[in-house]
Amino acid sequence: MNSPQQDDLQTPGLQPRRWMARLCLRLLQRLRPREAGMLFEDLQVLHAGPDPRMGAYALEFNNPQALCFLIDAYPTLQQVFARYPRMGSIRFLDIGPAFGASAGLLSQMHRSHFLGPRLEVEVMDILDTRQAFIELSYPRVRFLHGDVRDLPPQAVWDVVYCSNVIEHLDDPRVFIGQLLRHTRGQAVFLAPYREEPPLSLDHRLQITKEIFEGFEGFRVETMRVFNSASWPTTAEGVERQQILVVLAATDR
């Protein structure tokens, strides 16, 4: 039986790529740590799309906002994770992940059992334009390209996280219902709460508490409205808030 290294050498096209990777690594070792870090950011920008402004937007605006939303939600997520065996694993899905910063941080924090159950983190998006950026930046996150409506019945996650997505939909209740069919434990949602018109760009409607109520097989376990640094008062002085909701399967 061949060793894994021998199998790699026999895979067509793999040996040149491995040689090139080793060469790049040797070159990087000649850089100072800060220089290597800045080079990595340049790679992120390149992998965010053909327009470098998209990569700059991801690093300077979108990712910081996503991480701040995660900080808002993390105490609640900790309470959810604590219900699972500490030495077990949780299959976790971030749906509509933007550039993957939240999933990436969770995949690092819960890569072992030090903070509780280990997370098997996946992200899912109907577009694949950010896949390269996410796979480069967060190699422990698995990217799934698809639509929740097309998922097979056996595709199920323990915990689903959905941050600032449903306000972009014409009928968020339909989307939530579809998502719950693939949730065996808890679904955690963040969204703008009763956003004052005119709504932000690409937002379709106001999100109210009633949107999350009345789903068969699930109960509203947590519902909290709060202020967030990632969703601040507008330049016109209009105060904005977020709502955090946990829907839990009633058979757990």
Total domains present in the chain:
1
Q: Position 139: which residue type?
A: P
pLDDT in tens, 161-207: 999 999 999 999 999 999 999 999 999 999 999 999 999 999 999 99
pLDDT for 219 equals: 98
Strand bridging mode 241-249 / 218-226:
antiparallel
- Angle at which helices 63-81 and 101-109 cross, to 10°: 40
Domain annotation covers residue 49: no
Distance CA(12)–CA(26), nearest Å, equals 24
Torsion of CA 142, 147, 149, 152, to 10 degrees: -40
Domain annotation covers residue 119: yes
CATH of the domain at 153: 3.40.50.150
Domain annotation covers residue 67: yes
Domain annotation covers residue 72: yes
Q: Are 156 and 163 in contact (CB under 8 A)?
A: no
**Residues with Cβ within 8 Å of residue 163, at least 6 apart in sequence:** 66, 69, 70, 73, 94, 96, 102, 189, 190
Task: Tell me which residue range forms the domain holding 65.
Answer: 61-249
pLDDT in tens, 90-134: 999 999 999 999 999 999 999 999 999 999 999 999 999 999 999
Domain annotation covers residue 80: yes
Ranges of beta strands (E only) in the chain are 89-95, 118-125, 142-145, 157-163, 183-193, 218-226, 241-249
pLDDT in tens, 60-82: 999 999 999 999 999 999 999 99
Domain annotation covers residue 30: no
pLDDT for 188 equals: 98
Domain annotation covers residue 8: no
Domain annotation covers residue 217: yes
Q: Are 155 and 210 in contact (CB under 8 A)?
A: no
Q: Are 125 and 145 in contact (CB under 8 A)?
A: yes
